[in-house]
Amino acid sequence: MSKTQTYDARMGSNITDVDDNIVACRGGRHKWPELVPGKPLPRKFRPTLEPGGVVLITEYCARCDKERYTLTLSGGIFDRGAIRRYKDPKNWVVVPGASPRDFQAEIYRRLHEEIMAAAKRAEVGGE
């Protein structure tokens, strides 16, 4: 059995059964809220004032809904050394032995027809 076909006893599935959005996040990167000075805070970025003046930042991936938690220093100052915690969405699947490259390969497998059609159009007509 190849790495991309590794059986996940906990979920009873393999990489080919993983939700498209989760495959995209695991094969690329999550779509965390983007903070831009001069613009309002994004909807999926939630700061909460905690005891001691620290701020708990809760962020949600726009694609797969994974949650990321970061605790600031007192006064809301970003802590470069902060350890982030994560919470997986309900449909998150662990595929033992599967690496980000395996998920990238799965993205290409799922998009193979579209990729080949675009490549042929570019070859023929110069897209």
The answer to whether residue 64 is domain-embedded is yes
The answer to whether residue 127 is domain-embedded is no
- pLDDT tens digits along 15-35: 999 999 999 999 999 999 999
What confidence score (pLDDT) does residue 34 get?
A: 96
Count CB neighbours of 24 within 10 A: 20
Full-prediction pTM beyond 0.85? no
The answer to whether residue 125 is domain-embedded is no
The answer to whether residue 88 is domain-embedded is yes
How far is residue 80's CA from residue 73's CA, in Å, rounded to a whole number?
A: 10
Locate 62 and state its tokens. Answer: 């726009």
The answer to whether residue 119 is domain-embedded is no
The answer to whether residue 9 is domain-embedded is yes
How far is residue 39's CA from residue 124's CA, in Å, rounded to a whole number?
A: 43
The answer to whether residue 79 is domain-embedded is yes
Q: Total structural domains in the chain?
A: 1
- The boundaries of the domain holding residue 35 are 3-107
The answer to whether residue 115 is domain-embedded is no
Residue 12 has pLDDT above 50, yes or no: no
